[in-house]
Chain A
Amino acid sequence: MAGEILRGENLVKRFGGLVAVNEVSFEVKKGEIFGIIGPNGAGKTTLFNMISGVYKPDEGRIIYEGRDITNLKPHERARLGIARTHQVVKPFPGLTVLENIAVGALFGPRYGKISEDEALEIAREVASFVGLGDKIELPAGALNVQEKKRLELARALAAEPRLLLLDEVLAGLTPAEIDSMLGLLRKVRDEKGVTIMMVEHVMHAVMNIAERIMVLHFGRKIAEGPPEEIANNPDVIAVYLGDPSLALKFVKRRGGAS
């Protein structure tokens, strides 16, 4: 399909007897913000792990920019422009914030094309872009959780990815911080044209920013569509949103934050 950047075809991932992701197919368009929601244990992170190459799917294929990447190693996918953040943050604790971000720049799609000094320069810019400009010399281990989340985002952005996978970057942030992070993400998409897939539990935020949302439940895809549709989908309400009036309120806030 034209304008498509990523396609999952019948993806299955099992852990022993548990089917964490069960025949999930989806496609993401270039430049869109694609939300993934679902209760705890629904298989969202597992799906990200398959896209970034940490897990190999037991069945199915992953097509990225028209190419089958199912058998590529994680670092090969990173070089093709797929970057991600981790739900449980994984900074390089002993390296400084600047060095952490520079690793992203050096080893992303620009691998071999930029020097160490250029990478540090890029890291400086990206650090201030995500609001870590005054922390660059600190070891990453000394940051608080919120700052570590920003660092994860910065490392991923420094790579100049074409597809960005965000696993709960908003978790634990205050409403003001969520608004500023959403503004940041919109900027990333609008100015750099990065396609974003985001797993999110902060419902109003994902309803607010995503153009389309996929809902997973016990590893299966139970719905997909624009936020308004998802918020009114009875299956989704039953398993996830619980309270339809609350969900509608979230939708009404759409456009409120920027």
Chain B
Amino acid sequence: MRMLKRPGFIASIILILVYLAIGIAGQEGHLLAIVGNAMDTMMYIGWALALAVIMSYAGYVSFGHAVFVGIGAWMTALTIESIMPSHPFTISMFIVALLLGAGVAALVAYAVGWVVLRLRGAYFAIATIGLDYVVLYLAIYMLSRAGISPPMLFRNLNLTVQDFYWMHFIVFIVTLFVVYYIKVSRFGFGLAAIREDEEAAEVMGVDTFKYKLMAFTLSALIAGMWGVPLAFRHAKFDPQDVFSLLNSVIMIVENTVGGLGTFLGPIVGAYIYYGLYWSLLTKIAQASFVVLGPLIVIIIALVPEGLVGWLREKFPRLRKVLE
């Protein structure tokens, strides 16, 4: 298969090997800080790639996409505290949480998408913000009915940083391969056609509604998976935190800064975002978002096509490499 020789695939393999090495080296205590950063970057890349399927590939911006990460975290809470309340942590608990988190996120997206994807872009964008608030208040309501005032703290599962790391790593591998495969498959061609000109795509035989719905559902499924390691790592489900609009904005920023329409763009965008965030955070702590916001606006104003998009335009020879 030609696909296996392509840059996106090779880049995925390299990333996986690097993170594998960090995970193994991270057994040493003094590397804990790096392990933390590595986990963060895997998560931010995961978020970016999740949204990329609908935003970057198909051209439909989902403004409230954090809702699906939140659903994943919620389902994790449910798994730990209600479905398997007396189990010690085993890999099966993680798998149940993953299936539930990804599955429910995908179902919700399918139902919502089935209604709003019949409309064109703007309605869709607004819909996911609305959905985010609905699910946020639903979660708070359900918690209060169970007598819990958020955040809901999980019982002690005796997990180590290494455990969290490998959880991130597993979801990371799945994300890279699924999102890369979508890009190079017929499905990816169809989504690109929709992004570029929806009417022409439909006339050429792309079932635009079905493809948009599939893209949105898959995008939510991946975001849902990312809620699981997040919840385990923080050992809590805090609706205000996971459903925050800020998380949705981060996903959009990563895609925009990296460049739309490519597989590598969201990955590069995630590193840029995290790099800026981290370097500012360590210097000016609380003020970081105040500085980060305008900084990102400036970047987007300077390179509206995103870094990868800009490189592709500037150096056409790179087009083959930066897919």
Contact = CB atoms under 8 A, between A and B. Distances in A.
Interface of B: 1-3, 184-186, 189-190, 192-193, 195-197, 199-208, 261, 316, 319
A8 interface: no
| Residue in B197, B202, B203 whose Cβ sees the most chain A Cβ within 10 Å | B203
A103 B201 CA distance: 8
A116 B202 contact: no
A137 B319 contact: yes
Interface string A104-140: 1011100100001101000000000000000001000
7 contacts: A75-B207, A78-B203, A90-B197, A103-B190, A107-B186, A107-B204, A117-B2
B192 A52 contact: no
A92 interface: yes
A95 B204 CA distance: 15
A103 B204 contact: yes
A94 B193 CA distance: 9
Contact of B204 (A73, A83, A116, A119): A83
Nearest to A52: B203
A75 B189 contact: no
Nearest to A120: B2
Contacts of A94: 192, 195-196, 261
Interface string A39-78: 0000000000000111000000000000000000111001
A90 B199 contact: yes
Closest 7 CB pairs of A and B: A78-B205, A107-B205, A92-B196, A90-B200, A74-B202, A74-B203, A75-B207
Nearest to A92: B196
Contacts of B200: 86, 90-92
A172 interface: no
A73 B204 CA distance: 11
B186 A92 contact: no
A159 B203 contact: no
A29 interface: no
Contact of B205 (A93, A95, A108, A137): A108
Most buried by B among A53, A54, A96, A116: A116
